[in-house]
Amino acid sequence: MREGARLASASMAAGRLPERSFRQSMAWLHTWAGLVPGWVLFLVFLFGTTAFFQQEISGWMRPELRAGGVTAGALHKVGATLARKAPDAAFWSITLPSPRGGDAIRALWRLREDGSGESGEAVFDPATGEEQTLRDTRGGWFLYRFHFDLHYMPWWVARYIVCSAALAMLVAILSGIVTHKKLFADFFLLRFGKGQRSWLDAHNITGVLALPFHLMMTYTGLVALLFTLMPWAISANYGSEEAFYKAASSEAGTLEASGRSTPVAPLPLLIAQAETQWGMSPSSLVIFHPGDAAAVATFSPLRDGLGNNPPPLHLNAVTGAVQDGASSGSGAARATEGVMVQLHAGWFAGPVLRWLYFLSGIGGTVMVASGLVLWTVKRRAKQPDPARPHFGFRLVERLNIGVIAGTPAGIAVYFLANRLLPLGMANRADWEINSLFIAWGGLFVWTVARPAKRAWIEALSACAALYALVPVVNAFTTERGLVPSLIARDWIFAGFDLAMLTSAAALALAAWKVAAYKPKAAPRRKARELAEAVT
């Protein structure tokens, strides 16, 4: 180490900048590839992690729904209701809830091209088939969509931003592997109360602990947004994306009405036939020209198995026979894409694997957050006046507080708004989302006006209080509070409330640790060696 410092001094004395080794260059790349898109990456990891339980979150945010699968009786009643309400519709579109719950049976219908008939939508109870009124909410679906479509901006702009951040993340991971020579030693090293050293240990251990997961999620996420990154194959061969997807999808043999009135086969029979053909359950179906002898039912598969990505299935909606002209399977490229998307989203995962996904996602979120904080902790000591750092340092520090502490607070307010906003409020789902960003923005403005340490303590404490408040508000506004849910073995509601309390405890502990921390003046030699070890 002394020899390296002597050579660097000699190079500078000779008027030359010291040459960087390959590892030092990778350290520089790792630092800046992680910092510049770091706040976007934090959002992607945080919202993407919550999305592993999006159905369960949606179930909690729709307390009017009871747990249970779709029954044959409910499907019979849905079909009869549609036949009565929309006998002359151009199509019926029926979306079935996931086996994990979280939603009702949803149906919509559209006018015929000649303008006859009706247009509308309805929601049905999965157990009884009775029409049901649910509170207006986007539930866990919004959290899932936000992690790649963001909000308040065109979706294509958001995806370019997320793709750029994901590419930088891939660079940061690979350069981080090169930078950390003691990769496996870092796995077992976590020292508390050591300031900068502790942040470095937290960053290393969360990075190493789930390194294969981070690589897989980053790469498969880029594959899922492939045509955002590389649209040239489509533009060179097709006039538009719509033309490409139409050519890539399977079409039914005919979608023309015959003019002969014939009732649609019972929905349970059609769904059973689709399950027999696929060996898996459908997620939705569209019946074209219902009530006509040439009616066609097009099924989309439920993506709950790794590698199970069959094309849409077309059945004669009167007889249940497979429609001629349908594609028999996907090509290798589409099948590979389907596996990549499944690996990224984890739709195929059972409860244990889903929890592993979730915990690994938390590790990735902490990895990004600790890396952002480490940047400021490392550079504060190098400021000429640490009490008055330059503008760039203060900007990064405030962005860290506003994003790392403000975003979780906004998610807690999103859950609270679901219980507190009036049920009949216009645009209620939009205002649930708006409340998330209002709370986030308010906390961000507050932390800007406070000293850095106080801002961290107050923001984390407020965040902890908001999460602790969620189960309390739920208990007062529904009959499915924590205690009744435990007694009734309502594991979605009980698990959600326990997760909120666990989050509150973790955030309160973080606030307490920040408040209790008192930096110690280290000897100059040790400080210099520590700085060299970090870089």
pLDDT tens digits, one per residue of 22-33: 667 777 777 777
Q: What b-and-e string marks burial along 460-497, b requiring 16 or more CB atoms within 10 Å of the CB? A: bbbbbebbbbbbebbbeeeebbbeebeeeebebbbbbb
- 18 pLDDT above the threshold of 70: no
d(C-alpha 412, C-alpha 137), whole Å: 15
CA 117 to CA 109: how far, in whole Å?
10
Residues β-bridged to residue 106: 95, 123
Give the N- to C-terminal CA distance of the chain in Å, as an integer. 13
pLDDT number for residue 233:
79
What are the φ and ψ backbone dihedral angles of 276, each rounded to 5 degrees? -65, -40
> What is the per-residue pLDDT for 73?
92
Q: Residues 59, 60, 61, CA angle at the centre, nearest 5°?
A: 90
Structural domain spans, the chain: 33-63+135-249+330-350, 72-131+252-326, 381-535
* Interatomic CA distance for residues 26 and 179, integer angstroms: 6
Q: For residue 535, count other CB atoms closer than 10 A to its CB.
A: 12
pLDDT higher than threshold 90 for residue 34: no
CA atoms within 13 A on the CB side of 356: 13
| Strand ordering across the sheet containing 120-124 | 120-124, 105-110, 91-95, 282-288, 296-301, 313-316
Distance CA 99, CA 56 (A): 11
Better-predicted residue by pLDDT, 535 or 265: 265
pLDDT tens for 68-121 read 788 999 999 999 999 998 888 889 999 999 888 889 999 999 876 655 556 889
Look at strands 282-288 and 296-301 and give their pairing: antiparallel
Strands (E), 277-401: 282-288, 296-301, 313-316
The predicted pLDDT at position 421 comes to 96
pLDDT of residue 530: 47
Query: Between the ranges 189-193, 427-431, 521-525, where is the mean pLDDT highest?
Result: 427-431
Assessment of whether the complete model's pTM goes beyond 0.85: yes
Q: What is the mean pLDDT of the chain?
A: 83
pLDDT tens column, 442-501? 999 999 889 888 999 999 999 999 999 999 999 999 999 999 999 999 999 999 999 999
CB 253 within 8 A of CB 327: no
Place of tokens 């100059």: 524
Element (H, E) at 388: none
Strands (E), 177-327: 282-288, 296-301, 313-316
pLDDT at residue 8, rounded to an integer? 43
Question: DSSP alpha helices (H): ranges in 1-53?
Answer: 2-13, 22-35, 38-50
